[in-house]
Amino acid sequence: MSIGLGRAGRRMAVATVFLTWAQAAQSAPVVEETLPSPAMTGHFKLQTPDGRTLSDSSFHGKWLLVYFGYTNCPDVCPTVLNEIGLALNEMGPRAKKVQPVFITVDPARDKAPVLRKYMSSFDPRIVGLRGDGEATEAAAKAFHVYYRPVALGNAQYTMDHSGYLYLIDPKGKFVSLITGNLPGHGIAQELKKQIR
């Protein structure tokens, strides 16, 4: 009898742990990270908030540090952009060799005036880019970036998206992924490994 109760108690504990884990997993946004392959091109053709069309070849001769996000991102995107600015400061003169680029994955909401205002909160060396849905999708595919809208109710939504920084060399070749949760010092250290 006591053995049966012990098993029942253990089963109840396991079930409780599983349910707690399942609830936590459902409440957290699921983000698939797609790692770049040799086929990654890193091509894009998008617009700045002032309407200039820029492509990856516009920055030929510079190292590109590309991050995909969106202006309604509550915490991660602004943190990453701030840390990029800190990394540039830490790099000193070598920072002139780097062109950081922020590409929005939410073109429906991130119209030019919205993106302009958002980018004004960060280091002015970071170029903000946007495009229509087709251009955004093409850029994301070129970097193997995952993104998708997630409904929140009341016609509101958030975006799930890959959280990497993509480093492209001055000849347009993909060099490395830098995790987006590094502080500025960590980003600077990763850049210094490649940029002399």
Secondary structure of the chain in the HEC alphabet?
Answer: CHHHHHHHHHHHHHHHHHHHHHHHHHHCCCCCCCCCCCCCCCCCEEECCCCCEEEHHHHCCCEEEEEEECCCCCCHHHHHHHHHHHHHHHHHHHHHHEEEEEEECCCCCCCHHHHHHHHCCCCCCCEEEECCHHHHHHHHHHHCCCEEEEEEECCEEEEEECCEEEEECCCCCEEEEEECCCCHHHHHHHHHHHCC
Has this prediction a pTM greater than 0.85?
A: no
Cβ contact 98:59 at 8 Å: no
Q: Which two tokens stand for residue 183?
A: 């502080």
Residues 175-189, mean pLDDT to the nearest whole number: 94
Residue 13 has pLDDT above 50, yes or no: no
Residue 96 has pLDDT above 50, yes or no: yes
Instruction: Look at strands 164-168 and 174-179 and give their pairing.
Output: antiparallel
Of residues 72 and 41, more confidently modeled: 72
pLDDT given at position 7: 54
pLDDT given at position 12: 47
- Helix axis angle for 184-194 and 76-91, nearest 10°, is 50
Residue 33 has pLDDT above 60, yes or no: no
pLDDT given at position 37: 53
Residues 139-165, mean pLDDT to the nearest whole number: 91
pLDDT given at position 70: 96
pLDDT given at position 17: 37
